[in-house]
Amino acid sequence: MKEFFKMVFASAIGVLVAGVFLMIISFSILIGTIASIGKTTEYVPKENGVFKLSVSGIVSETVQENPFAALTGRNVVELSLHDILRSIEAAKENENIRGIYLEAGTLSAGPAHIDAIRKALIDFKRSGKFVVAYGGTFTQGSYYLCSVADKIYLNPQGLLLITGLSSETVFYKGLFDKLGVEMNVFKVGTHKGFPEKYTRKDLSPENREQIVSYQQGIWGNITGNIAESRGITTAIINQFADEGYAFATPEKAVELGLIDELKYKTDVDQYVMELAGQTGKKLQTAGLDKMKTIRQRKSVSPNKVAVLYAEGEIRPEDMSIYTSEQVISEKLVRELVKLKEDDEVKAVVLRVNSPGGSAYILDQIWHEVMELKQVKPIVVSMGAVAASGGYYISCAANKIIAEPNTLTGSIGIFGLFPNATGLLDKIGISSDVVKTNRFGDFGDISRPMRDDEKKLLQNYIERGYDTFLSRCAEGRGKTKEEIDLVAQGRVWTGEQALQNGLVDELGGLDTAITWAATLADLDSYAVSYVNTSRDILQELLDKRFTGLKASIIKDALGKEYEMIYSIQNGEYLTGILSMLPFNVSPL
């Protein structure tokens, strides 16, 4: 008995000590994080400086720094497109920076995001400064970005992984059949393929058609841009991909003109030192973390053009504890109201990067865009994806600017309602309903939907589609019939969308800012940025480590996270939605 009490006492002490220890660590991190906020020190480049940009990680429009990321053990690097573009501009303007050194790795980014960085690098080269790229392995995305460099070097034992584009859709119908779950689908749009993953085991002809179309358009742009930068033909790039030369000896890449020379990193470092005019034994560089702190010359003006970021799926922000991803929620509505009421803000640029989502929330955003438009001009700048609901919140703007490789359109709507009768029968669960009216149990998943219920819901979906067409027709100055011809859930590239009148011009964020200032008749103006990213510290206090738990879960599941999250997301996907019909894979 004595030994028993000893063990209990020791265990209690151990738990108490561990608890106190964890509390101290958590408190220390929290205090350190709070203390660090607002204390960013500006970096002052030394003479003959070099901006070393690591082309590796996941690129988003903006990145919310998570002070607790270290606790999750995740090694994924998240890159902010805004920070990258701002740093390249700062490097161009700073007389002490002689060039940019691109170090390639595994890059996960949409083609439109890469296009934006490539254009910034091309503009940087016009200043007479150098751009040099090196990689032990070039993925397709990192090579596409680095192809603008004056010189591209590959490790003698490295890989150039140019293989072409591909798209994979995961279907759950087989799983649902085994579970005894039937998904009732209600939609408008022959190309609205999102529900197919729940009702088919392969792509419909219409869905396959649009994927082939946008892939060919994007691949044509990518190969064309690489060919122009490298002074070769697109046929050479396609030959490299079709012959599987990605796995040939690296000399093949040099032979075909895709790579300048095979060199080890130390040799390339020495070459960059000579270009920059540095003396010493080691190349001195500054990374993105330093370069983004350089203050840039800003216009001194009481007039502002505000850039408001709208990134992620459109859904309630606290929808699930299983995701820490950025979302577009009712918070965007509140930000639009603030900008409308801010007298210093003369025009707004809405930067949209979204595949769509909740029809209810996106209509609230659309309404506020219309309200703001009555007071001051608003221009939409489309990122990698601005489709379905992403297009819905864009269509009311005075002008829409897209990148050539932006995915947009997908004007359609659908609803999903499960019938779990088979599953409930298998596990021995039954139910009985008492109701006062015929549709009192509408949406009950424990029984098949009745025909009159299906008719009601289909009519509701069709009214939603008609509303979508009306919104687009009003915003684009067209008839509903004209919009319907290019709608039907069809996905278009930005280039294709320009041809069919869904966007006004091809260009990046700078183009949209210039248009916003022009529409507001501004000769001089300052640009301010409004980020709607999640506040990690506030979430810590409000949601009890929600973001931390999500990061740990995501890290543990790895590549399977997206699939499991899609299944878990079923509750959110029940209802009326306007979503891109597939997940977009980065380069």
Compute the distance between CA of residue 567 and CA of residue 565 in angstroms, rounded to an integer.
Answer: 5
Q: State the virtual CA torsion across 546, 547, 553, 559 in degrees, nearest 10.
A: 140
512, 291 in Cβ contact below 8 A?
A: no
Compute the distance between CA of residue 434 and CA of residue 511 in angstroms, rounded to an integer.
Answer: 60
Compute the distance between CA of residue 368 and CA of residue 353 in angstroms, rounded to an integer.
Answer: 18
- Nearest to residue 445, comparing CAs of 267, 184, 193, 266? 184
Compute the distance between CA of residue 349 and CA of residue 389 in angstroms, rounded to an integer.
Answer: 18
DSSP letter for 532, please. Answer: -
For 189: left if phi > 0, alpha if psi spans -120 to 50, otherwise beta; the answer is: left
Calculate the CA 296 to chain-centre distance: 26
Full DSSP string of 276-340: HT--SSS---B-HHHHTTSPPP----S-EEEEEEEESEES-TTS-TT----EE-HHHHHHHHHHH
Q: State the virtual CA torsion across 79, 82, 84, 89 in degrees, nearest 10.
A: -170
Dihedral (CA of 247, 248, 251, 255) sign: negative
Count of residues for the chain? 587
- Please identify which residue in the block is written with the tokens 């028993």: 4
User: Please, what's the b/e burial string for 60-70 (b: 16 or more CB within 10 A of its CB; e: otherwise)?
Assistant: bbbbbebbbbe
Q: pLDDT by residue for the chain (587 residues), tens digit each?
A: 444 434 444 554 455 445 544 554 554 455 455 445 445 688 999 999 999 999 999 999 988 665 555 454 456 688 999 999 999 999 999 999 999 999 999 999 999 999 999 999 999 999 999 999 999 999 999 999 999 999 999 999 999 999 999 988 999 999 999 999 999 999 898 898 888 999 999 999 999 999 999 999 999 999 999 999 999 999 999 999 999 999 999 999 999 999 999 999 999 999 999 999 999 889 999 999 999 999 876 667 889 999 999 999 998 875 444 445 678 889 999 999 999 999 999 999 999 999 998 888 999 999 999 999 999 999 999 999 999 999 999 999 999 999 999 999 999 988 888 999 999 999 999 999 999 999 999 989 999 999 999 999 999 999 999 999 999 999 999 999 999 999 999 999 999 999 999 999 999 999 999 999 999 999 999 999 987 655 555 555 444 444 444 555 455 555 554 554 454 454 444 455 565 655 555 67
Maximum distance among all Cα pairs of the chain, rounded to whole angstroms: 87
